[in-house]
Structure 1
Amino acid sequence: MHADFAVLLDSWDLALHADGYSPRTRTSYRKAMTLLAVWLAEHHPDTGPEDVTRDLIRAWIVELRERTSSGTARSYFPGVRKFYRWAIEEGEADTDPTEGIRTPPPNDPRTPILTVEQIRALLAGCDARTFLGRRDAAIIYVFVDGGLRLAEVAGLALNGVDTRERMLFVEGKGTNRSGPRRRAAPLGVKAARALDRYLRERRKHPYAELPQLWLGDRGRATLGSDGVKRMLVRRAEQCGFHLHPHMLRHTWASAFREAGGNEGDLMVLGGWRNRQMLDRYGKVAAASRAQEAYKRLAFGDRI
Structure 2
Amino acid sequence: MPVAAHPDFALLSDSWRLALEADGYSPATVRSYLGAVRNLATWLADHHPGTGPADTTRDQIRAWVVDTRNRTSSSTARTWFPAVRGFFRWAVEEGECPSDPTDGLKTPRPNDQTTPVLSLDQIRAILGTCNRATFRDRRDAAIIYVFADGGLRLAEVAGLTVDAVEIRDRILFVEGKGTNRSGPRRRAVPVGVKAARALDRYLRERRRHPYADLDTLWLGDRGRPTLGADGIKAALQRRAALVGVKLHPHMFRHTWASQFRAAGGQEGDLMVLGGWRSRQMLDRYGRVDAAERAQQAYRRLALGDRL
TM range (shorter): over 0.9
What are the ranges of 5 or more consecutive residues in structure 1 without an aligned counterpart?
Answer: none
How many angstroms apart in 1 are the aligned matches of 2:299 and 2:121? Answer: 20
Query: In the TM superposition, what are the counterparts of 1:288-299 in structure 2 within 5 Å?
Result: 288-292=292-296
1:196 aligns with 2:200: yes
How many angstroms apart in 2 are the aligned matches of 1:163 and 1:212? Answer: 16
How many angstroms apart in 2 are the aligned matches of 1:133 and 1:209? Answer: 20
1:126 aligns with 2:126: no
1:224 aligns with 2:249: no
How many angstroms apart in 2 are the aligned matches of 1:247 and 1:192? Answer: 21
1:88 aligns with 2:86: no
Moved more, 227-236 or 132-141: 227-236
- Residue 290 of structure 1 and its aligned partner are, at CA, apart by 2.9
How many angstroms apart in 2 are the aligned matches of 1:193 and 1:288? Answer: 32
1:118 counterpart SS class: helix
Q: Which residue of 2 aligns with 1:258?
A: 262
How many angstroms apart in 1 are the aligned matches of 2:198 and 2:58? Answer: 56
How many angstroms apart in 2 are the aligned matches of 1:77 and 1:262? Answer: 34
Query: In the TM superposition, what are the counterparts of 1:261-276 in structure 2 within 5 Å?
Result: 261-276=265-280
The total of aligned residue pairs comes to 301
Q: Could you tell me which of 197, 206, 209 is aligned with 1:205? A: 209
What are the ranges of 5 or more consecutive residues in structure 2 without an aligned counterpart?
Answer: none
Q: Which residue of 2 aligns with 1:136?
A: 140
Q: Which residue of 2 aligns with 1:166?
A: 170
- Residue 295 of structure 1 and its aligned partner are, at CA, apart by 7.5
Matching residue's letter, 1:169: F
How many angstroms apart in 1 are the aligned matches of 2:71 and 2:7? Answer: 26
The TM-score, its normalising length taken from structure 2, stands at: 0.94
1:94 counterpart SS class: coil
1:49 aligns with 2:49: no
How many angstroms apart in 1 are the aligned matches of 2:25 and 2:222? Answer: 37
Deviations 1:160-216 (A, max 9, x none): 110010000000000110100000000100000000000001111111111111111
Deviations 1:243-277 (A, max 9, x none): 11111001001111111111010010000112111
Matching residue's letter, 2:50: D
- Residue 17 of structure 1 and its aligned partner are, at CA, apart by 1.2
CA RMSD of aligned residues (A): 1.8
Moved more, 23-32 or 81-90: 81-90
How many angstroms apart in 2 are the aligned matches of 1:293 and 1:267? Answer: 22
1:221 counterpart SS class: coil
Q: Which residue of 1 aligns with 2:282?
A: 278
- Residue 26 of structure 1 and its aligned partner are, at CA, apart by 0.6
- Aligned structure 1 segments of 4 or more residues deviating by more than 6 angstroms: 294-299
How many angstroms apart in 1 are the aligned matches of 2:211 and 2:110? Answer: 44
How many angstroms apart in 1 are the aligned matches of 2:105 and 2:244? Answer: 45
The TM-score, its normalising length taken from structure 1, stands at: 0.95
Q: Which residue of 1 aligns with 2:26?
A: 22
1:155 aligns with 2:164: no
How many angstroms apart in 2 are the aligned matches of 1:288 and 1:226? Answer: 33
How many angstroms apart in 2 are the aligned matches of 1:127 and 1:116? Answer: 17
State, as a whole percentage, how many aligned pairs show the same letter: 70
Asked if structure 1 preserves the Cα contact closer than 8 Å seen for 2:115 and 2:284, the reply is no
Q: Could you tell me which of 189, 197, 202 is aligned with 1:185? A: 189
Asked if structure 1 preserves the Cα contact closer than 8 Å seen for 2:187 and 2:275, the reply is yes
